[in-house]
Amino acid sequence: MKPGHGELLLAEGDPRVQEDEERLVEEFRRQLDEGMWAAVPVTNPGSGRREAQLVRDYTDIPVEAERVIFFPRASGG
Amino acid sequence: MLLALLALALIALVLAAPLIVSAIKRRRPARRRGAQDELEQLSLYDPGRERRAEQRARELLRSCVNEEEWSMYRDLGFIRVAGKHARRETDKSGAPAYAYLVYPHKPIVAYVPASGQLLSEYCVEFPDLAGTGGRHRLPASDDVLAKWMALTSDEDRVIRRANLHLVGRQHDPARVRRDLWRLAEWERRRGPRPGIHQKSR
């Protein structure tokens, strides 16, 4: 999510393919280095409710995740 | 005496004349450049861009939250998120002790679902980190999604970062109470479902 633009596709690929994964890791790190927060929408297995899972490292991304959403970190308004 | 002052003023004016002329010359191209920039911005402005960005944001929000939350946002314009902390260790009845109302581009409101008591406003925003210098902000539905993701993933962190105020600083308390009533009516019409239920007052 980018202010003034909304949703932008940053990178896509199959993480099982090495070349794709390297590109995804690079983009993931770049976004975090820029100060963005990364989250994956998931379903809580206990409550069944939808929630987001913050990911701080590429290896934290759940295997079944279809996408990672980057958004500006929150600050006091 | 007066004649001497007039003479001095005339001399000062003559001496300052080159400076005044060069200042005027400098300002003219700058003003022309400013007008050109403004014209370019006008010609590049796409009135549909924000509408398309909002449309994409709505689709993204819909794909992330559950059906109830999406319907709530579509019908009422806000989303309710349950607070994760219990009032006491023994209070594990399942119903949350408090919840949040998430509005686009407005502070998050914390309240008690059981009583409808308004607790506080949490002012939070998601600023442009690229530092483009503009006053850009997220589309409305992206702002709601960002708050939803921040609250459901790490409630404590987003609350720590927010500015806390009593309800009434940016939100009209009467309006929020009306929203809680609308929410209760909306839930009543939808019929009994598991989850939080807003008490109608």
Amino acid identity at B171: H
Question: Do B84 and B179 fall within a single domain?
Answer: yes
DSSP state letters, A1-33: -BTTTB--------TTSHHHHHHHHHHHHHHHH
Report whether pLDDT(B24) > 90. Answer: no
Residue B33 confidence class, pLDDT cut points 50, 70, 90: low
Report whether pLDDT(A66) > 80. Answer: yes
Q: Which of B12, B29, B45 is the last residue of a domain?
A: B45
Question: Do B11 and B56 fall within a single domain?
Answer: no
Report angle CA A23, A24, A29 to the nearest 5 degrees.
100
Q: Is A6 on the interface with B (CB under 8 A)?
A: yes
Nearest by CB: A53 against B153, B157, B195: B153
Mean pLDDT value of segment B42-60? 82
Please state the domain count of chain B: 2
pLDDT attached to residue B7: 74
Mean pLDDT value of segment B2-21? 71
Q: Which of A14-18, A58-62, B55-59, B189-193 has the lowest mean pLDDT?
A: B189-193
Q: Is A56 on the interface with B (CB under 8 A)?
A: no
Amino acid identity at B106: K
Measured between its terminal Cα atoms, the distance across chain A in Å is: 18
Token pair 């009032």 in the structure block, residue:
B87
Provide the residue range defining the domain that includes B10. Answer: 1-45
B146 belongs to a structural domain: yes
B6 close to B12: Cβ distance less than 8 angstroms: no
Question: Do B59 and B112 fall within a single domain?
Answer: yes
Query: B94 — alpha (psi -120 to 50), left (phi > 0) or beta?
Result: left
Tens of pLDDT, residue by residue over B82-121, are 998 876 655 556 678 999 999 999 999 999 999 999 999 9
Residues of A in contact with B57 (CB under 8 A): 1, 6-7
